[in-house]
């Protein structure tokens, strides 16, 4: 069913707004894309804060020019969809690039820093890490030395805890020193008096 004039104007206004807000735009030929695959694409786009819009090439051309871009979408092949990155410049290329691996969708060009780029450059951008992935790598690099430092502190604390526990442990009973008994000296024997000689017989 053909769209009414108001519907076309609304669609164009939405595209103009998307062009003005986007940090980058990636265009794709979505011909042959199945409904389930299109739903998956839109879900992936939402999760990456990317607006994915489909329209006729003439409408893309008019909206881009109204937003200040020199774009002739009629030169792109197939049926046209656009991914508009609202935060991450690489996200639209990543989202659509990932879909090319499992669907019929093809990258055909894009807008980066106000300039048109061809399909090869968009494909190259789709292979770069996203901003979120880069931030994760940076955070990991920053916190790596900190985590090592924390491990050292924990080891010191554990050793100190172990030492305090050793101090708190009950001391082993100390054996009383054995007193050596001195031998009792015996009293000196009294001298024995010599026996009296018996008187000689007469």
Helices (H), the chain: 5-21, 35-47, 57-67, 91-100, 119-126, 131-168
Check pLDDT > 50 for residue 170.
Answer: no
In this prediction, residues 39-49 reach a mean pLDDT of 94
At residue 122 the predicted structure's pLDDT band, cuts being 50, 70 and 90, is very high
Q: Is 62 inside any structural domain?
A: yes
Residue 93 belongs to domain with CATH number: 3.30.70.1730
Q: Is 55 inside any structural domain?
A: yes
Q: Is 141 inside any structural domain?
A: no
Q: Is 36 inside any structural domain?
A: yes
Question: Contact, 94 vs 65, CB < 8 A?
Answer: no
How much is the pLDDT for 152?
63
Q: Is 97 inside any structural domain?
A: yes
Q: What is the 3-state secondary structure (H, E, C) of 52-103?
A: EEECCHHHHHHHHHHHCCCCCHHHCCCCEEEEEECCCCCHHHHHHHHHHCCC
Check pLDDT > 70 for residue 140.
Answer: no
Number of domains in the chain: 1
49-77 per-position pLDDT tens digit: 999 999 999 999 999 999 999 999 999 99
CA-angle at 1, arms to 64 and 8, nearest 5°: 25
Q: Is 71 inside any structural domain?
A: yes
93-119 per-position pLDDT tens digit: 999 999 999 999 999 999 998 889 999
- How far is it, in rounded angstroms, from Cα 78 to Cα 185? 126
Residue 119 lies in domain: 9-128
In this prediction, residues 5-17 reach a mean pLDDT of 91
Q: Is 53 inside any structural domain?
A: yes
Q: Is 184 inside any structural domain?
A: no
Residue 10, SS3 per DSSP: helix
- How far is it, in rounded angstroms, from Cα 168 to Cα 130? 55
How much is the pLDDT for 42?
95
- How far is it, in rounded angstroms, from Cα 39 to Cα 54? 13
């Amino acid at each position: 069913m053909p769209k009414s004039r108001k519907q076309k104007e609304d669609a164009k206004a939405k595209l103009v707004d998307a062009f003005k807000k986007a940090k980058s735009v990636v265009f794709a030929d979505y011909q042959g894309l199945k409904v389930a695959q299109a739903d998956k694409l839109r879900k992936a786009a939402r999760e990456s804060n990317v607006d994915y819009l489909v329209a006729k090439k003439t409408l893309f051309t008019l909206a881009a020019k109204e937003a200040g871009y020199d774009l002739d979408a009629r030169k792109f092949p197939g049926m046209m969809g656009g991914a508009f990155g609202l935060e991450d410049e690489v996200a639209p290329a990543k989202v659509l690039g990932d879909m090319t691996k499992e669907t019929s969708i093809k990258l055909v060009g894009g807008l980066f820093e106000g300039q048109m780029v061809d399909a090869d450059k968009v494909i190259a951008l789709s292979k770069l890490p996203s901003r979120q992935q880069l931030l994760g790598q940076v955070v990991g690099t920053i916190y790596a030395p900190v985590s090592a430092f924390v491990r050292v502190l924990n080891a010191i604390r554990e050793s100190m805890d172990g030492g305090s526990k050793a101090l708190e442990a009950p001391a082993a009973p100390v054996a009383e020193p054995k007193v050596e008994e001195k031998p009792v000296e015996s009293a000196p024997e009294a001298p024995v008096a010599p026996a009296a000689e018996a008187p000689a017989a007469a």
